[in-house]
Amino acid sequence: MKTALTFIIVFGVIVIIHEFGHFFFAKRAGILVREFAIGMGPKIYGHQGKDGTTYTLRLLPIGGYVRMAGMGEDETELAPGMPISLVQNDEGKITKINTSKKVQLPNGIPMELVEFDLEDQLTISGYVNGDESHLETYQVLHDATIIEQDGTEVRIAPRDVQFQSAKLWERMLTNFAGPMNNFILAIILFIVFTFIQGGTAVLDTNGIGRVVENGAAAQAGLKENDKILQVDGEKINSWEELTTIITKNPEKKLNFEIQRGQETFEKTVVPEAEKEGDQTVGKLGIYAPMDDSFSAIITGGFTMTLDNSLAIFKALGSLIVHPDINKLGGPVAMFQMSSQAAEQGVTTVILLMAVLSINLGIFNLLPIPALDGGKLVLNIIEGVRGKPLSQEKEGILTLIGFGLLMVLMVLVTWNDIQRFFF
């Protein structure tokens, strides 16, 4: 239960923050966000806000999504011959269109739909009360709503509030905002992580921070604030130099030259042997000094975000040069990592969430149709050409990209299942 809850929180937060980026900048650009959903699958609860967006809670607590008017994933199923009902205002204009069998409108006008234009002309036509001898046409209000077949009520999407009606730079910012929010979330989480751990490690020093009780350093008499001047005659100026020597010498006697205050003396230290993967490495049981200043904590959050981003780009490069599905992980791998993080405590969960947030941000910026990066590429092509690709071509590219992603997701998930359960 703890693992499942951790997985839901970690995955849910990073996806919802991602989608909120799209939502916020779409609103700023005048694009109608028809639905902001928390979770996936069947709707549990829905409420339409005054801003025109319907906020829904859905059954499966994994992530969420936004439906922007005019985007490929925004479809309302209306078809000739469909039985619907209409609600009029006092002026005779349509304020609500009901396509759902789950919802009954007491004052609704029953109609068999013949044709409609809810983008430009804002009209809807059909046979009222089964009278096929007369075709009735009604004017639809700009802010009218439509009740979809699952009972979700959303605004219709006239042309002027659709995604393509916004300026190019506004659409580019809306597409980029999701990954951008993931990077911002990672920075905030890394700042919190840095604060919890007491600051950032100072690595350009030979000073000792906390000493682990009963560790090799403690047994040799080393103390916090000591400075390690030399190890076996080799000068030590940084933690990288110290770590390199210690790691290579498990269970070997090393001669340390130590400075404590104004006193300088020598100590024999034997690093403990510890397994790391297939290797045995030396450990002293000491930590680097910590800088707990406000500026260090803030800077640490940015630095950790940058370091992790570079590591992910390096891993992507390795994946391209040497393709291997074992280098990828899907929801099953995320669940496994959530399990390990839950066992290690809140700090590890925060660290995991930050790393996964960066992963999601970078992954979505890949120039693949159906991802935010692919949409940005189409925006750039539009800027160069002076006009967008046709909706048919863009739809085909998006469909191809989506298909490839689904195939990859199935392969990765199946590979994860085999790795972790067989």
CB 159 within 8 A of CB 165: yes
Q: Which of 36, 45, 33 is nearest to 16 (CA)?
A: 36
185: helix, strand or coil: helix
Residues annotated catalytic, as ranges: 19
The answer to whether 324 touches 315, Cβ cutoff 8 Å, is: no
Q: How far apart are CA 362 and CA 273, in angstroms?
A: 37
For 357, counting Cβ atoms within 10 Å of its Cβ (0-12 exposed, 13-18 middle, 19+ buried), the class is buried
Residue 332 one-letter amino acid? V
- By the 8 A CB rule, do 64 and 39 touch? yes
Q: For residue 382, give the 3-state DSSP assignment.
A: helix
Cα separations in angstroms, 349 against 328, 338, 339: 20, 7, 9
Place of tokens 């739809």: 395
Kindly list the distances between the CA atom of residue 117 and the CA atoms of 79, 82, 120, 223, in Å, as whole numbers in the listed order.
Answer: 11, 15, 6, 78
